[in-house]
């Protein structure tokens, strides 16, 4: 297990967070449920032995993900594309990647690439993913999927129309401990879920000029961090019927500190928070009528959790591998090999519902983006 989970930056006033250690190999079992199938000879991958990856953008998370990919059975990193050839070449040399391209177009046009991992700032997710899909490539796109529901819908419709695989890189949903917690709750181990609480706050300070403050780059705590507690609540409670949110904003107009309350038809409630100035405990608690699950921080990449039933408390140990991102890569490789165009672990319908929720919260806290 990696000692420093991702999504911890920025932990210092600088804009370049420290990188965790490289990942050992992954042997996470594949999910047996099936998703939507594509024809075996489609660009979704068919029944290929080796799935060849392209990396689009060369920033912090691209580095961590590429490190994890190196240890995913059946995955080969074939190419990298950057806005500059020098950037692509330097990244290719560091990671031993055979092909380097100085534009997204050239990467997308490489017919030997089966799937492209999009790791730009959020504001470019839509354009980059669209370009790749139009070129016939499958895509794994970083979270948040896009800036809003409308642009997310555009990508989902395009992928479906072309029979191409598309998935949001919401790696928390492929984390083995999160998956175990979801199945225990589905089995009724804690009864009916009544409350979910989760917080994700980074210490900051985030200095002016950092992408996390910039409206033109989709900055703010909500889209970068809030998407995790919102997705967690969604996993255990589904779609809320009531949404209330408030945030304090940076001078640039993006959110610095955000609180969210979600209400559900069943009477359940979720209380969620995210912020960029103050490291919160990062814990999550799922409380049911018969017990609860306590996930220690950082809840989006746990190595286990405590199951509480009455006076009994049991630690359920479910370690993750490497930086924790190879589980999502394993899922992509599995889907492509099986000819699926969607992952049943991260369905596109869920991604769209969560994007709609993010739109609603942004409207309430008064954050708008230039695009």
Residues carrying an active site annotation: 143
Q: Contact 277/204 with Cβ under 8 angstroms?
A: yes
Query: x/- site string to ligand NAP, residues 326 to 355, per CB under 6 A?
Result: ------------------------------
Cβ-based neighbour number of residue 10 at 10 Å: 21
Residues 6+ apart with CB under 8 A from 213: 206, 207, 219, 220, 250, 252, 254
Among 22, 74, 102, 121, binds ligand NAP (CB under 6 A): 121
Separation CA 199–CA 195 (nearest Å) = 14
Shortest distance (Å) from residue 264 CB to ligand NAP: 27
* Residue 59 touching ligand NAP (CB under 6 A): yes
State the nearest-atom distance from the C-beta of 65 to ligand NAP, in Å. Answer: 8
Q: In this chain, which stretch among 57-65, 145-153, 233-241, 245-253 interacts with ligand NAP, using CB under 6 A?
A: 57-65
Instruction: Indicate the residue whose CB is closest to ligand NAP.
Output: 59
Name the segment binding ligand NAP (CB under 6 A); options: 82-90, 129-137, 230-238, 345-353: 82-90
* Rounded least distance, CB 291 to ligand NAP, Å: 30
Residue 371 tokens read as 């695009």
Q: Which of 99, 126, 143, 180 binds ligand NAP (CB under 6 A)?
A: 143
Residue 230 in the binding site for ligand NAP (CB under 6 A): no
Report the b/e string of 40-60 with b at 16+ CB within 10 A. eebbbbeeeeebbbbbbbbbb
The answer to whether residue 87 forms part of the interface with ligand NAP (CB under 6 A) is yes
Residue closer to ligand NAP by CB (options 85, 246) is 85
Task: Quote the CA–CA distance of 299 and 317 in Å, as a whole number.
Answer: 14
60 binds ligand NAP (CB under 6 A): yes
d(CA 113, CA 227): 29
Among 124, 147, 232, 361, binds ligand NAP (CB under 6 A): 124
Size of the site for ligand NAP (CB under 6 A): 23
In the range 156-175, which residues lie near ligand NAP by CB under 6 A? 169, 171
Q: Is 249 exposed, middle or buried (0-12, 13-18, 19+ CB in 10 A)?
A: middle
Contact with ligand NAP (CB under 6 A): which of 58, 174, 231, 254? 58
Kindly write out the interface string for residues 289-328 of this chain, putting x where it contacts ligand NAP by CB under 6 A and - elsewhere. ----------------------------------------
Residue with smaller CB distance to ligand NAP, 86 or 290 = 86
Q: Which stretch binds ligand NAP (CB under 6 A): 24-32, 114-122, 177-185, 329-337?
A: 114-122
Q: Give the nearer residue to ligand NAP in terms of CB position, either 64 or 159.
A: 64
At 172, list the tokens. 């928390």
Q: Per this entry, what is the length of the chain?
A: 371
Alpha-carbon span 117 to 153, nearest angstrom: 19
**Does 148 engage in binding with ligand NAP (CB under 6 A)?**
no
Contact 2, 324 (CB under 8 A): yes
Q: How far is the CB of 238 from ligand NAP (least distance, A)?
A: 23
Question: How far apart are the C-alpha atoms of 88 and 170, rounded to whole Å?
Answer: 25
Contact partners, residue 187, CB within 8 Å, separation at least 6: none
SS3 262: strand
Give me the least distance between CB of 341 and ligand NAP, in Å please: 22
Nearer to ligand NAP, 119 or 166 (CB): 119
Among 83, 162, 195, 279, the residue binding ligand NAP under the rule CB under 6 A is 83
CB 141 within 8 A of CB 125: yes
Alpha carbon 272 to its chain's center: 17
Q: How far apart (Å, rounded) are the C-alpha atoms in residues 139 and 54?
A: 9
Q: CB–CB of 359/368 below 8 Å? A: no
Structure-block tokens of residue 108:
């997308």
Binding site for ligand NAP (CB under 6 A): 6-7, 57-62, 82-83, 87, 119-122, 124, 142-143, 169, 171, 211, 217, 224
């Amino acid at each position: 297990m990696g000692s420093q989970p991702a999504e911890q930056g920025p932990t210092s006033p600088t804009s370049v967070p420290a990188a965790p250690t490289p990942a050992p190999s992954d042997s996470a079992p594949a999910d047996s449920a099936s998703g939507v199938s594509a024809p075996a000879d489609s660009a979704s991958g068919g029944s290929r032995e080796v799935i060849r990856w392209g990396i689009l953008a060369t920033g912090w998370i691209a580095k961590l993900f590429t490190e994890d990919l190196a240890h995913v059975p059946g995955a080969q990193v074939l190419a990298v594309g950057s806005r500059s050839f020098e950037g692509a070449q330097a990244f290719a040399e560091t990671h031993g990647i055979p092909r380097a391209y100085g534009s997204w177009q050239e990467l997308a046009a490489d017919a030997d690439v089966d799937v492209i991992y999009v790791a730009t700032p959020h504001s470019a997710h839509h354009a980059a993913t669209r370009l790749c899909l139009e070129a016939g490539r499958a895509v794994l796109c970083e979270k948040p999927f896009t800036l809003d529901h409308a642009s997310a819908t555009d990508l989902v419709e395009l992928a479906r129309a072309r029979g191409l695989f598309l998935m949001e890189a919401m790696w928390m949903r492929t984390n083995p401990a999160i998956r175990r917690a979801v199945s225990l709750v589905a089995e009724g181990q804690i009864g009916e879920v009544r409350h979910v609480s989760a917080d994700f706050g980074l210490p900051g300070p985030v200095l002016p000029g950092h992408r996390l403050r910039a409206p033109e780059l989709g900055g703010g705590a909500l889209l970068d961090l809030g998407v995790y507690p919102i997705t967690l609540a969604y996993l255990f409670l589904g779609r809320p019927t009531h949404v209330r949110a408030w945030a304090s904003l940076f001078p640039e107009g993006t959110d610095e500190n955000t609180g969210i309350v979600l209400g559900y038809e069943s009477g359940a409630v979720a209380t969620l928070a995210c912020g960029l100035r103050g490291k919160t405990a990062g814990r999550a608690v799922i409380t049911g009528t018969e017990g609860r699950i306590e996930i220690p921080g950082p809840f989006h990449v746990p190595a286990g959790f405590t199951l509480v039933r009455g006076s009994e408390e049991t630690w359920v140990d479910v370690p993750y591998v490497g930086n924790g991102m190879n589980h999502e890569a394993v899922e992509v490789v599995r889907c492509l090999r099986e000819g699926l165009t969607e992952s049943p672990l991260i369905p596109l319908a869920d991604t769209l519902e969560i994007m709609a929720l993010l739109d609603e919260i942004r409207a309430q806290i008064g954050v708008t983006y230039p695009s």
